[in-house]
Amino acid sequence: MQFSLVGRIGGMTRSEFFFYYSIPIIVVLVAFLFVLRKYRRQDSVNYSDDFISAAVVLGSLLIFRENERSVSQKLHWIDCYLRKRFSNASFNVIQIYKDVVDLGVDLTEYTNLANERLTIRQKIHLMEFLVRLGNTNGNINPRESELIFYLLTRLNLDLDDLDARIQDILIPGKKPEASTTKVRSHYFKILGVEESAGLQELKNAYRKLVKIYHPDNHGELDERERKEYVGKFLEIQQAYEILTAELNSQ
């Protein structure tokens, strides 16, 4: 799956400054991959993984607003933040921005690099930031939710790895329970496992189904096909979350 961004810094108009899937999370992914690619081979500066993850997720904030004034304000804020937190690091937020807006990124390559370069703690930190970023307008939309859960799977993380407050953003309110035998049976059927399945079996089944049904794994889809895949994906997600929550509470 390719994400391509198009834009320029000076003299931007609203129509010129847009990118496919105009959600903050996509921008973060592109910036993160760019920095990994660009700095992983530079020996003259010690770019720690902590710096890389913090720099790109914060640096990406500068382009998720729609007007040039907001971009400029966020550029200044991010630059000040990074210089305060990483006083000995060498980076150029403007150059990162310029490179990112013209960069295409393969999601598989991004997650492979993230798995290679980041510790579990750092991957959790990244995902928690993505959730907060997606929630800047007060809610996570379906597209953002799809991507976040897909990334969790690709990064070998589970929802329970995230802070409880982050989980509440993704799944507002109390998680529903499989209150009847019929409902429980239906959820196990969705995941294609026996009702005696344990937590690890549920995880394995869930990850397998995500690879099959996630819409972004099927190239170009028309609106009807995409809705079908999204519906199935969310059904799988609900079944997995309810059953794993039930097992974890036992």
Greater confidence (199 vs 110) lies with 199
Contact call for residues 30 and 39 (beta carbons, < 8 A) = no
Those residues whose C-beta lies under 8 Å from the C-beta of residue 115, and which sit 6 or more positions away, are: 123, 154, 155, 156
Alpha-carbon span 16 to 28, nearest angstrom:
20
Confidence of residue 192 (pLDDT cuts 50, 70, 90): very high
Q: Where in the chain is the domain with CATH 1.10.287.110?
A: 181-248
pLDDT tens digits, one per residue of 208-248: 888 888 777 776 777 777 777 777 887 888 788 888 877 87
Confidence of residue 39 (pLDDT cuts 50, 70, 90): very low
**Residue 43 scores a pLDDT above 60:** no
Instruction: Flag whether the pTM goes above 0.85.
Output: no
| Average predicted confidence (pLDDT) for the chain | 65
Angle subtended at Cα 14 by Cα 12 and Cα 18, rounded to the nearest 5 degrees: 90
Quickly name the fold that domain 181-248 has.
Helix Hairpins (1.10.287)
**Residue 121 scores a pLDDT above 70:** yes
pLDDT tens digits, one per residue of 3-34: 333 334 344 444 444 443 344 555 555 556 55
